[in-house]
Amino acid sequence: MDRLNVAVIGVGGVGGYFGGRLAHAFSSGPDSSVKIFFIARGKHLDAIREDGLLLKSPQCGEIRCRPAQAAERIGDLPPMDIFLLAVKGYDLIDVARSMKDLIRQDTFLLPLLNGADIHERLRREIETGIILPACVYVSSYIEKPGVVVHIGNPGRIIFGRDPDHPDAVPSGLLRIFEKSSIDFEWRDDANPAIWEKYLFIASFGLVTAYYDRTFGEILDDASLREEVIQIMKEICSIASKRDIRLPDGIVDLSLKKAATFPRDTRTSLQRDIHQKKGKSELELFGGTIIQLGKRLDVPIPVTCKLYRALGGV
């Protein structure tokens, strides 16, 4: 096949894990038809340029991952065939605007970040290209510049067809995932999986952030647990209005899933707000639910209460 250029935008926990696996597979092997490029920042970028990215994982041990090029700006890269977007939700629009002029009609974009409306957010900024709705499961983080640590189960990506280009199948992307042993699932419709994850992270994110309590404390407190349940039900109502079929008993299934997490688990939204980082994914979780609730005439009182109390407007 023709050469593929693949850019990983954001080489933090998520991008470092999946991008690292790709870079290691194609920089150390005989396949020269694929080149992996990284976009990173600051000392992390400096370390990657100096000695590659070190990925520590229970699945693959410690591997040194060397991209074809690591850059700070997307405009510094050659033309790309595939973009893996692994940025935080609050950076998504700025990144989309910086890359929109580099997207061809046949360019594939795979967003690897949380949110129920990521495809719509990207499509408002990027008119061309093929945007694949996706959700990702991985526990990983930057330990220090140039080093990403993965813990727990293998990272997994579920993604599906672009509703604007339903006949477009990313055969090249599927091939490189297979060759790099990345766990993935290609579906005709990825929306149920996206909303199933969103229901979980948005409800627990809002409640943990507002009350500053851990998963264990939330589950033990009947009133806090009930607020999680009510937000889940609000999201279920929105999904139903959008004809997205979630699994039967999704609320109970989500609570049982939460009980499998370590009791001291805190959400990223909770950490960002209470560490006063200035940026958080409050809009991606609470803001999105409120916008969709208003548009679809779905009552969302609990989400509104927590969102506004946390500083949402």
DSSP letters, the chain, are ---EEEEEE--SHHHHHHHHHHHHHHHSSS--SEEEEEE--HHHHHHHHHH-EEEEETTTEEEEE--SEEESSGGGS---SEEEE---GGGHHHHHHHHGGG--TT-EEEE-S--SSHHHHHHHH--SSEE--EEEEEEEEEEETTEEEEEEEEEEEEEE-BTTBTT---HHHHHHHHHTT-EEEEES--HHHHHHHHHHHHHHHHHHHHHT--HHHHHH-HHHHHHHHHHHHHHHHHHHHTT--PPTTHHHHHHHHHHTS-TT---HHHHHHHTT-S--SHIIIIIHHHHHHHHHT---HHHHHHHHHTT--
**17 and 120 assigned to the same domain:** yes
Are the beta carbons of 143 and 57 closer than 8 angstroms?
A: no
**129 and 197 assigned to the same domain:** no
Please name which of 90, 137, 89, 128 lies closest in space to residue 109, comparing C-alpha atoms.
128
The amino acid that residue 34 corresponds to is: V
Burial of 122 per CB tally in 10 Å (0-12, 13-18, 19+): buried
Specify the pLDDT at position 47: 97
Residue 245 confidence (pLDDT) above 60 = yes
Domain end point (choices 189, 207, 236) = 189
**144 and 266 assigned to the same domain:** no
Domain end point (choices 169, 189, 209) = 189
Rg of the chain over all Cα atoms, to the nearest angstrom? 19
The amino acid that residue 5 corresponds to is: N
Mean pLDDT of the chain: 94
**143 and 202 assigned to the same domain:** no
Residues of the domain holding 138: 4-189
Interatomic CA distance for residues 192 and 134, integer angstroms: 10
Interatomic CA distance for residues 53 and 67, integer angstroms: 8
Are the beta carbons of 303 and 290 closer than 8 angstroms?
A: yes
pLDDT tens track for 132-162: 999 999 999 999 999 999 998 999 999 999 9
Please name which of 174, 151, 159, 150 lies closest in space to residue 65, comparing C-alpha atoms.
150
**54 and 99 assigned to the same domain:** yes
**202 and 171 assigned to the same domain:** no
**56 and 145 assigned to the same domain:** yes
**12 and 157 assigned to the same domain:** yes
CATH of the domain at 161: 3.40.50.720
CATH of the domain at 229: 1.10.1040.10
**164 and 207 assigned to the same domain:** no
Domain end point (choices 189, 208, 232) = 189
**172 and 214 assigned to the same domain:** no
pLDDT tens track for 227-243: 999 999 999 999 999 99
Residue 1 confidence (pLDDT) above 60 = no
pLDDT tens track for 26-84: 986 666 789 999 999 999 999 999 999 999 999 889 999 999 999 999 999 999 999 99
pLDDT tens track for 85-132: 999 999 999 999 999 999 999 999 999 999 999 999 999 999 999 999
Average pLDDT over residues 296-306: 97
**288 and 203 assigned to the same domain:** yes
**281 and 151 assigned to the same domain:** no
Q: How many domains does the chain have?
A: 2
